[in-house]
Structure 1
Amino acid sequence: MPAAGERSAARREATGRRLARFAALRGKAARPGEFWDVVAVTAADAEQARAYRQQLAEKLSRKELPLGARYHVVVDPPGPKIGNGGSTLHVLRCLEDLYGDKWTSFIVLLIHSGGYSQRLPNASALGKIFTALPFGDPVYQMLELKLAMYIDFPSLMKPGILITCSDDIELYSTGVTEAVTFDKPGFTALAHPSDLAVGTTHGVFVLDPAGFSGKGGLEYTSCRRFLHKPDVETMRQCGAVHVRGSCSQLSSSGDHSDSEVGSECVYTDSIFYMDHSTAKQLLTFYKQVGPLCCEIDAYGDFLQALGPGATQDYAKNTSNVTKEESRLVEVRQKLYSLLKGTALNVIVLNNSKFYHIGTTQEYLFHFTSDSKLKFELGLLSVAFSIFSGKAGTLEQPASIIQSILEPGCFVGPGSIVEYSRIGPEVSVGQNSIISGSHINFKVDIPSDCFLSSLSIKMNNQLKYVSMVFSVEDDLKKSVKLLSDIHSLRFFGVSLLECLDLWGVKVSEQLFSSENTQLGLWTARIFPVCSTLSESVRMSLKMLNSVQHMSAFKLNGFKLLSVEEMLTYKDVEDMLKFRNQIYDEIHLQRQKEKSDS
């Protein structure tokens, strides 16, 4: 097996080729079979769908996407959350409603992007699939990267659906004569070698040992059973643990080596394909069951039913479920009965890396510190921006994405600034995220700070509000009783102490959620202001008061929670701000070209 450096270089070369193929197709009509017939993006609600459609329309008008594909945003039905499995079923129904029987001849890419991105809130307002990446001119967002990385698939795929999520990146290389083809009945999934710790938070394939060697770039094999977020003991017992570069499965004692080759690994999931006859079976099931009232997971609930070693035990296991609904077990059992005996084919990409960027920590690490991703994807420290200063340090650079930074400002190592205007007297600490903000006053932004600004419309008036947190704060954490809110932390300090400093009363009105989800996501603590820079100034004053334990009273301000900010968000104005930055950078680029 080639050394790690050679494998990384091969991934870089393969990635560069795919990006070039995609770049050649942008703004042009693809030939039949060369690109997707349909690209469907899911949205959680009508407001999110509107934001997605607007951004798609802008990309198409700017010729940033290949033409000819039908781009659809499919909004989940109103009512309880249905998970990405429920969204998958709903998309199938919408395709049939739109195209009748014709949809069964389509090659479809389905991207799940319906979450509210509580773990990466700078993507909450405009969507994770529209997260900016630090490369490209103009900058790529996750949507373009997905389309580029899967550019080889449509021509080697029988009609069917390829399912992916919006916050992960798969880079891989194969041998010269090897190709990833999706042409078998049933399900076909990609598998990546991963450390055992990664396996505990992903799906893990128990591969058929007879048809798998663990060597080379690419292997086709079948899967005996799919484990969803298993513990290490379960992986060992089921025979899912392998030695890198060798087909021998490990016993529960497991020899362990520090070097990559010879160390233990499991094969974890990323994207999967289903052919049309399987999709039609699922659609029939969806019509029979009627409106879903529980969350179904496309990975945990579809794939766990597959393979000869599958059992029905998982249907009753709700340990990985965020909210257990009464009908979940029943729906899972029906799905198991429907899918039992369906094949789960696996394409093992031995030279591949799976990157997840769905949290603030992952986002910061992969875009600033992760030298491997930077090398393989060609990430830049300054991407499509106006900035003449120094971003961070050579050891750990910062990442500046589609922003205008005036001379004199400083951005600390490991920080990300995106879609922002930063004045000359601004200093950003280490490991911080600044998104969609205008900062034109003297300020030292502390390290580990998360700052993201939104335009909102209230009573038909345009206003602004900026959320500020620590990148470590848990926005998903909530309590059920007001008396328990002392356990919530804002920048490491008890929320109760913060509220006292800000002069905010603890009452039922403090939180916007009606279902007793009391947490940072639903706390009404952010002041509404009449300008973008003023909203940043006020929110940074709140943070400063917590850091220095000095009072900064919010009396007189209308206060919103993050949940409410998203309800009131003004997509048009936020995109207008981004476009102004884009135009200014574009003009400067043109000027530099003509001067040279």
Structure 2
Amino acid sequence: MHAMSTDSQATPHQTGIDDLSQVLQAVHAKNLKTYQRLLKHPASVTPKTQEHDPFWDIVVITAGDAQQRKCYENRISEKLAKGLIPQRAEYHVIDDPPQSKIGSGGSTCLVMKVLREHYPEDILSKADRAEGIQILELKLVLYLHLLETMPPGVFLTSADGIELFSSNTPFPSEPKPFTITALAHPSSTQIGSTHGVYLLHDTDNVITQDRALHPRDQSALLLKCEQFLHKPSIDVMKSVPRVVYPDPKDSTNDVVYTDSCYYFDPQTANLLADMYPSLHPECDLEAWADILSFQDQHSSAQDSTTPSSLSPHVQGRYLVKRLLQQASVCLEVMVLNASKFYHLGTMQEFLEGTCTHKAFMHELNIRNPDPGIAVVVSQSSSLPADTRNNGAVQSPLYIENVVLAPEARIHPCSIIVDSCLPSDAIVPRNSCVFTLQLQDREFVTFTFSLRDDMKRTAPTPVAATAPTKEKESIAGLDHLHIFERVPVSRMLPLHYAHPLTGATAEAQSVGLSLWNAPVFEIARTAEESVRFALDRLNRIRNCLDGTPAEAASKLDLGRETGADMVGWISLKNAARKARVYE
């Protein structure tokens, strides 16, 4: 998959590729060329005859803890050394305080405080903040055309959203003190029910007039926001006047304007920095729901409650609302009719975007060697040329840094990353398989269904008699499901006793889930960890096929790997231990 290619020539009339897709593709292609110039010519050596290409002065990535910060810093250093990101910016990774849960809203305030402490007062006007690292280059590309006129300030974005937009009018070049400017995109009411929705002050009906134009002629409309609705139901959206607009292209559909990125000026940045010391370590503020809703003048019972008696989260919301309202901060919305917002927050959304969504792939210049199969390879990767023809792999499929033996079989709707699959490998439909190397140079290969809810907790088993701790553990794994309906206890190898580790007890105390359950084998080598994973998938397939547990256990015992298991680990703890290796 070549997401950064600039010479895409897709046929205009492919399914899903309309006039708007063509306009967005042209804007993105222009941004890609600008980005390539930035990579080729650092600021100090840019030819004088070439028009100056603006770029961020500071890029900040937030991390959940110190270990994640080190991983991100390593990745940034590698990308800078390889010339994959511009050297013109200063890159910083700021991690949340230990033993805290401040959320994206709290970390935004923390970033503002840290930048103010480390830079002169006016440098806050030059900070960009992005969450996540894997998609860093793409996020740096997406907003380049905004920088031509964007005033000093902070631009906030997230890692799981892709925003594509075009406009005849630029971002307002004059900074407005104490102003938050949010980008808004036309969306269906169904999408609006899972995002933030703006109630806009549009007395002249300019939104409808602009939507009637061709995408290349549509403008950026700067309007006041009267109310921010976070994940409103469809009934709520329809009950609030002027939230829902008719779709001029489809009379059966309604349109609302949903949130994505937002900008704020240096004065507002200072307000957020001032607020941080007052936030509780467990405030868990959300940078959109809890900050953008500050201008809501509707009072609630909580507003009349003494702040100290509220939960840390509600206390944080109270502080944000009070501080921003007292400073008379204004929320403005830049309505971008010629735009699209794609959410890639789930594995299914990611697979669709990279493999089957023709408009998305066209707009981002993504081209796959085989239809429906996205391949990201490294020098050590090996993918047999005839795998598609002999049915070994089936689309849609995303594979990255994978060595695949000719006889290995991968069923559709799967994601395989950093794994070497031997000839007898069978990966069932809707699988996600990936290998991590841990800090102490041990390996684990995880297997999930794309449809699994990783944070869903298993119901607490109710025992008729006083159970032993061992029976409690087994009962908990009986009630925890993987691949949607397979008890995790059926996934475990019978010839290894599952120990009652501290991690197991901790997971059960907060609710056992696929995220925190230590049910994945640690191996000495990557190959052995993949073998453990394939055996695990075989047991899962047997359960899905209806094979009785007793018969499945006999099949399992006849197929022992002979590999030594080092121990058990959860995805949560593996993410903490894993580090980046060359």
TM-score by length of 1: 0.79
Q: Residue 433 and residue 342 in structure 1: after superposition, are their counterparts in 2 closer, same or farther (change >3 A)? A: same
The 5-angstrom pairing of residues 18-417 of structure 1 reads 18-30=31-43, 34-104=54-124, 106-113=125-132, 129-130=133-134, 142-175=135-168, 178-181=169-172, 183-185=175-177, 186-210=179-203, 212-214=205-207, 215=210, 216-244=218-246, 260=250, 263-287=253-277, 289=278, 292-306=281-295, 310-313=297-300, 326-340=311-325, 341-382=328-369, 391=370, 394=371, 397-402=372-377, 403-409=381-387, 410-417=392-399
Aligned partners of 1:192 and 1:267 also within 8 Å: yes
Distance 1:240 1:73, change over 3 A: farther
Label 1:412 to 1:12 Cα distance change in 2 as closer, same or farther (>3 A): same
1:301-333 residue CA offsets vs partner (Å, 9 max, x unmatched): 111012xx532439679xxxxxx9822222222
Q: 1:231 to 1:26 in 2, by over 3 A?
A: same
Please tell me the residue identity of whatever aligns with 1:398. I
1:438 to 411, 420, 439: 420
1:535 matched residue in structure 2: 529
Unaligned residue ranges in structure 1 (runs of 5+): 114-128, 131-141, 247-258, 318-323, 383-390, 577-596
Gap change, CA 1:33 and 1:445, over 3 Å in 2: closer
Query: Retained in 2: the 8 A contact 1:204–1:229?
Result: yes
Structure-2 residue corresponding to 1:478:
457
Conservation of the 8 A alpha-carbon contact between 1:240 and 1:267: no
| Amino acid in structure 2 at the alignment position of 1:433 | I
| Alignment deviations for residues 78-109 of structure 1 (CA, whole Å, 9 cap, x no partner) | 122100000001101110121142423x3221
1:525 has 2:525 as partner: no
Seen in structure 2, the aligned counterparts of structure 1 residues 290 and 337 have a Cα distance that, compared at 3 Å, is closer
Deviation digits for residues 115-141 of structure 1 (CA, Å, limit 9, x no counterpart): xxxxxxxxxxxxxx31xxxxxxxxxxx
Cα distance in 1 for partners of 2:417, 2:338 equals 34
Task: State the secondary structure of the residue aligned to 1:34.
Answer: coil
Distance in 2 (CA, whole Å) between partners of 1:477 and 1:429 is: 26
RMSD over aligned Cα, in angstroms? 2.6
Cα distance, 1:346–1:158 mapped onto 2, change above 3 Å: same
1:582 equivalent in structure 2: none
| Aligned-partner residue type, residue 405 of structure 1 | L
Deviation at 1:546, TM superposition (A): 2.4
Partners of 2:82 and 2:349 lie apart in 1 by: 30
Pick which of 515-524 and 423-432 moved more: 515-524
One-letter amino acid matched to 1:15: H
1:240 Cα deviation (Å)?
A: 4.6
1:485 to partner: Cα distance? 4.4
CA gap 1:400/1:4 in 2 versus in 1, 3 angstroms: closer
Secondary structure of 1:405's counterpart equals coil
Question: Take 1:49 and 1:315, find their aligned partners in 2: how far apart are those partners?
Answer: 36
Partners of 1:312 and 1:333 within 8 A in 2: no
Separation (CA, whole Å) in 2 of partners of 1:501 and 1:39: 49
SS class of match (1:300): coil
Q: Mark the CA change 1:502 to 1:103 in structure 2 (over 3 Å): closer, same or farther.
A: farther
Tell me the amino acid that sits aligned with residue 351 of structure 1. A
CA–CA distance in structure 2, aligned partners of residues 299 and 314 of structure 1: 22
- Check conservation: 2:414, 2:450, Cα contact below 8 A: yes
Secondary structure of the residue aligned to 1:158 is coil
Counterpart amino acid of residue 452 in structure 1: F
1:428 aligned partner:
410
Q: Name the residue aligned to 1:135.
A: none
Q: 1:325 to 1:454 in 2, by over 3 A?
A: farther
Cα distance between partner residues in 2 of 1:310 and 1:21: 43
* Structure 2 residue runs without a partner (length 5+): 1-15, 47-51, 211-217, 461-471
Deviation by residue 1:321-374 (Cα, 9 ceiling, x = unmatched): xxx982222222222111124211111010111001111110111111111101
Of 447, 452, 456, which residue of structure 2 is paired with 1:468? Answer: 447
SS in 2 for 1:206: strand
Residue 304 of structure 1 contacts residue 314 of structure 1 at CA under 8 Å; is this kept in 2? no
The Cα of 1:517 is off from its aligned counterpart by 3.0
Asked if 1:564 is matched to 2:564, the reply is no
Paired residue type of 2:361: K
Structure 1 residues 513 and 366, CA gap change in structure 2 (3 angstroms) = farther
C-alpha contact (below 8 Å) 2:237/2:244 kept by paired residues? no
Q: Distance in 2 between matches of 1:508 and 1:457?
A: 20
Residues 1:431 and 1:231: Cα distance change in structure 2 (over 3 Å): same
Identity, in percent, stands at 29
Over 3 Å counting, the alpha-carbon distance change for 1:379 and 1:241 in structure 2 is: same
Answer whether contact 2:493 2:536 (CA < 8 A) is retained. no
Q: 1:504 to 1:195 in 2, by over 3 A?
A: farther
Give the stretch that moved more between structures: 551-560 or 92-101. 551-560
Alignment-mate amino acid for residue 569 of structure 1: A
Structure 1 position 521, deviation (Å):
1.6
CA contact (8 A) 1:243 1:263 kept: no
Instruction: Answer with 275-284 or 527-536: which moved more.
Output: 527-536
Map Cα deviations across residues 161-204 of structure 1 (whole Å, 9 max, x no partner): 100001110111223xx213363331000000000011111110
Q: How many residues align?
A: 506
1:487-535 deviation per Cα after TM superposition (whole angstroms, max 9, x unaligned): 3211231223334757554856572745523111222222222221221
Larger deviation: 183-192 or 434-443?
434-443
Alpha-carbon distance in 1 for matches of 2:345, 2:40: 29
| Residue-by-residue CA offset, 1:242-277 (whole Å, 9 max, x unaligned) | 33456xxxxxxxxxxxx5367311100000011011
The alignment partner of 1:156 has SS state of coil
Q: How far off its partner does 1:281 sit?
A: 1.5
| Residues 443, 193 of structure 1: alpha-carbon distance in 2 compared, 3 angstrom cutoff | same
